[in-house]
Structure 1
Amino acid sequence: MEYVVVSVILLIALLVGAAVLVVPRMRRRELPPPPGGGTTTLERPPAAPPVPTEVVAPPVVEPEAAPAPVEEAPYLIEQPEPTAGRLVRLRARLARSQSVLGRGLLAVLSRDHLDDEAWEEIEDSLITADVGVEATQVIVERLRERVRVLGTRTVAEVRQQLAEELIEALEPGLDRTLKAGPFEGRPAVVLVVGVNGAGKTTTCGKIARVLVADGHTVVLGAADTFRAAASEQLATWGERVGAETVRGPEGGDPASVAFDAVKRGIDTGVHTVLIDTAGRLQNKVGLMDELGKVKRVVEKHGPVDEALLILDATTGQNGLEQARVFTEVVDVTGVVLTKLDGTAKGGIVIAVQRKLGIPVKLVGLGEGPDDLAPFEPKAFVEALLGSDG
């Protein structure tokens, strides 16, 4: 009996074991291989053959070249047009003076009847235009006599009479030429003087252009050593027309610079040495004495041929006192009247010449480099009176 039970147990165990082995195998079916063969997802693909690495040298960076120095372009040397007739070309600049000395006077003189009140009005117009009291009295007296004798007063006749009297008052016989040399193998020496604010250094540069325009060679002397920008400003004017500038240290001795400039002019054989001096106030005795020293030192080379006084036309009658004191120190030979276009007082030309006996040689009629014109009495009066009629 026990034998039968043991046999049954062994049989059951055998069946259970067989079932454990067979059932899992029946559930797992083999997957078909991928097309064309190859690895399954469970296998690591073979490593790709190594790619040989190329050692690339870093690019050679050329050192950056230093920038080439920037050279300032030299001034193109200019050749101004000859100055003959320049005042005629600039006549429009006198338009403001026309309203006083021109149109105003003509309007009064053309009246049918000129009584004492009308002549007083004419006098006032001339005095307002800075002609000066003495010169005004002479002009009015001569005009009254001409009107009395001639009788008729058409606009054209009156204009002609007024023009003749103004030209006469400007003393057309005075010598207005610039003594620009050379003289017996040496350059002419031109000393430029004036008070502060008259535009002296700028005008000195314009005078250089006038000389070059009329065929002269020039050396500039920057003897205004007290104003830092003066020598540089003058040198700039000179470079534009090919004129050399002799300079000294800032605050240096002006007489020494002037002396060296004249020596340089002699050595190089130029026609003219143009010396710019420091602006002075005429009531500063020490400064005026120093200006006298400049003149004395320069004269060791030879005489000063011209001493040009720069006057601002807008200062009016005050300019006459300036001119008088400068004349005592350096013997002024000519006046350069600047800013004549910016004032209605063109009569100052008459006053300067009558009071001092010194001719106005140049007049400034604008800010341009070539707006400085040789003074011509007839052309000046024609500009003041405007067109005929």
Structure 2
Amino acid sequence: MGFFEKLSAGLAKTRNAIFGNIGEMENADRIDDEMYEELLEQLVLADTGIDVAEELVDKLKAEVKKNRLKTGAEALEALKGLITEMMTPETPFAPAGKPAVILVIGVNGVGKTTSIAKIANLYKNEGKTVLLAAGDTFRAAAAEQLTIWANRIEVPIVAHSEGSDPASVLFDAVQSASAKGMDIVICDTAGRLHNKKSLMDELSKISRVVKKACGEADVETLLVLDAITGQNAISQAAQFVDAAAATGIVLTKLDGTAKGGSVLSIKQKLGLPVRFIGVGEGVDDLMEFDPKAFTDALFVK
């Protein structure tokens, strides 16, 4: 199955439940208030959030007026363009440094550990060398779980004993990757919601340790969210964003929900771009986020 086919299949629930109805705009021979009201309702049902839904509809009205659009088909194309624009990051995801360090955070149960493995597998398939770091030293068997994934996708891992200092794990991992000339270190972290000060202190310490281990390494911090929880995920994310200086989002389990419209809210409400999305349980079912492909898959017939 190709990239677009996999993406389209993963978004089937969202498309069939909501966005397929929005696609019916294409059949309208004129643009009127009733069409705008129906669009607003469908966007809210897709869990975009009322603020984002209203913003999209207002922007569409402006586009229709500015470009003198007449038909529903023209309005739909304009809407797709607006959605793509809304979700497009200001900068591409390009972890810097040698090695680049990707720190992955989030609460337990959102798919954090499996996302780490899938991101590692994605980069490995691109020809990059990847090392995993088992920085969740608080949860029993967390390192064991990540080690199983590392063996499965055939990438090395650095792990310490349970209760070790997470920063020391990452220090060893970055030093090892630097000495071997590896491209990327991906680090698991404790999947619990710290109070903001302890989380900030821990992540600040990790950043300092990374620089000490290798001055050329930079840190990207990706927050993993569960798409099934929709707008609730965004509320939860806000606490992490404030505390952890996250730089991007990994959105998992999009294939399991009709609330895929929450993707539209993340960048608007959190100010963070979606960097990866999960559209299935397989190791190859996580992909880099492509706003145009995502939008096209929402409306494909």
The two structures have a TM-score, normalised by structure 1, of 0.70
- CA distance, structure 1, for counterparts of residue 124 and residue 86 of structure 2: 31
CA contact (8 A) 1:364 1:373 kept: yes
- CA distance, structure 2, for counterparts of residue 88 and residue 178 of structure 1: 25
- CA distance, structure 2, for counterparts of residue 146 and residue 100 of structure 1: 26
* Partner SS, residue 130 of structure 1: coil
- CA distance, structure 2, for counterparts of residue 232 and residue 287 of structure 1: 23
Q: Which of 229, 245, 260 is matched with 2:157 structurally? A: 245
Where do residues 229-240 of structure 1 align in structure 2 (5 Å cutoff)?
A: 229-240=141-152
Aligned match of 2:36: 119
Query: Post-superposition shift, 1:260?
Result: 1.3
Q: Which of 310, 325, 328 is matched with 2:224 structurally? A: 310
CA contact (8 A) 1:178 1:361 kept: no
Query: Post-superposition shift, 1:205?
Result: 0.7
Give the letter aligned to residue 70 of structure 2: G
Give the letter aligned to residue 170 of structure 2: A
CA contact (8 A) 1:309 1:332 kept: yes
1:353 and 2:270 are equivalent in the alignment? no
* Partner SS, residue 90 of structure 1: helix
Give the letter aligned to residue 230 of structure 1: A
1:384 and 2:301 are equivalent in the alignment? no
Where do residues 163-312 of structure 1 align in structure 2 (5 Å cutoff)?
A: 163-170=80-87, 172=88, 174-179=90-95, 181=96, 183=97, 186-281=98-193, 283=195, 285-286=197-198, 289-301=201-213, 302=215, 303-312=217-226
Query: Post-superposition shift, 1:233?
Result: 1.8
125-134 vs 254-263, greater mean Cα deviation: 125-134
Query: Post-superposition shift, 1:118?
Result: 4.1
CA RMSD of aligned residues (A): 2.4
* Partner SS, residue 275 of structure 2: strand
* Partner SS, residue 132 of structure 2: strand
- CA distance, structure 2, for counterparts of residue 299 and residue 326 of structure 1: 22
Provide, for residues 82-121 of structure 1, a one-character-per-residue CA deviation record: whole Å limited to 9, x for no partner. Answer: xxx7355332111111124421112256445655454223
Pair 283,339 (structure 1): closer, same or farther in 2 beyond 3 Å:
farther
The two structures have a TM-score, normalised by structure 2, of 0.89
Aligned match of 1:7: none
- CA distance, structure 2, for counterparts of residue 97 and residue 268 of structure 1: 44
1:322 and 2:236 are equivalent in the alignment? yes
Aligned match of 1:92: 9
- CA distance, structure 2, for counterparts of residue 334 and residue 284 of structure 1: 18
Give the letter aligned to residue 258 of structure 2: A
CA contact (8 A) 1:88 1:379 kept: no
Higher share of residues assigned helix: 2
CA contact (8 A) 1:189 1:274 kept: yes
CA contact (8 A) 1:132 1:351 kept: yes
Percent identity for Structure 1 against Structure 2: 46
Where do residues 22-171 of structure 1 align in structure 2 (5 Å cutoff)?
A: 86-108=3-25, 110-112=27-29, 115-147=32-64, 149-153=68-72, 156-170=73-87
CA contact (8 A) 2:119 2:286 kept: yes
Provide, for residues 39-85 of structure 1, a one-character-per-residue CA deviation record: whole Å limited to 9, x for no partner. Answer: xxxxxxxxxxxxxxxxxxxxxxxxxxxxxxxxxxxxxxxxxx9xxx7
- CA distance, structure 2, for counterparts of residue 131 and residue 199 of structure 1: 22
* Partner SS, residue 208 of structure 1: helix
Query: Post-superposition shift, 1:164?
Result: 1.5
| Pairs aligned (count) | 297
Higher CA-based Rg: 1
- CA distance, structure 2, for counterparts of residue 178 and residue 362 of structure 1: 13
Contiguous gaps of at least 5 residues in structure 1: 1-80
Pair 247,95 (structure 1): closer, same or farther in 2 beyond 3 Å:
same
Contiguous gaps of at least 5 residues in structure 2: none
- CA distance, structure 2, for counterparts of residue 104 and residue 282 of structure 1: 41
Query: Post-superposition shift, 1:284?
Result: 6.5
CA contact (8 A) 1:97 1:344 kept: yes
85-94 vs 272-281, greater mean Cα deviation: 85-94
- CA distance, structure 2, for counterparts of residue 278 and residue 206 of structure 1: 18
- CA distance, structure 1, for counterparts of residue 297 and residue 110 of structure 2: 24
* Partner SS, residue 243 of structure 2: helix
